Amino acid sequence: MGHEQIVNAVDACREGFAGIVASGSDDCTARLWDSRVRGDVGRLDHEFQVTSVAFSADANTLYTGGIDNCITAWDVRRLEKTMKMKGHSDTITCLSLNPKGTHLLSNSMDGTIRSWDVRPFVEGPNRLHKTFVGGSHNAEKGLLNCAWSSDGSMVTGGSADRVVHIWDEFTAEELYYLPGHTGCVNSVIFHPKENVIASGSSDKSIYVGELAQ
């Protein structure tokens, strides 16, 4: 009927697939849920703990990441693996699909944030697109997030160095280095319409700021 250990991540389908949710857990499964049905409607078994999940834009694929350092793509209709993307050298803490649905962002305990080309017509096993460096993880081993701006031109993610880092998606260069927190930055998110960013930290504070044009 449900997970047997800690749930680390959840993601909901985009518009048009209301009520469908995925979750990843320390019980080494990702599960699919339909708000109209009691209990899970699909189970994806993994060899290791699942720490991150993200749906594709059409909701036909679920991407999962975990302590095996890999991103696995699953066909949610057949409940089968379709692809595995390798490149990180430590636990993947978050996955996030860009607004166009063409690229997937991942944050990892190896200290990098990476983007992956998940378009179906891309050939070859290496879908790594870009690597964004400057953030960090620490001994707390927190599941730090990652996120895209609403137009997909910038990326950000949690960082243990108490700084909000924002990168240009096209050049992979750091655009903003925003100190202020006194604890690990666990979560950062862009406003859907305005040039505003918000961050949550282990220092028990949430900062909201406007980015320069």
Q: Are strands 196-201 and 185-190 parallel, antiparallel or unpaired?
A: antiparallel
Claim: this prediction has a pTM higher than 0.85: yes
pLDDT band at 35 (very low <50, low <70, confident <90, very high): confident
The tokens of 111 are what? 């200290």
Contact 185, 199 (CB under 8 A): yes
pLDDT tens-digit readout, 79-116: 999 999 999 999 999 999 999 999 999 999 999 999 99
Contact 74, 81 (CB under 8 A): yes
pLDDT tens-digit readout, 41-76: 999 999 999 999 999 999 999 999 999 999 999 999
| Dihedral pair phi/psi, residue 48, rounded to 5° | -130, 175
The mean pLDDT of 4-29, rounded to a whole number, is: 90
The mean pLDDT of 165-188, rounded to a whole number, is: 96
DSSP per position, 148-177: E-TTSSEEEE-BTTS-EEEEETTT--EEEE
Task: Count other Cβ atoms within 10 Å, centred on residue 64.
Answer: 26
pLDDT at 16 over 80: no
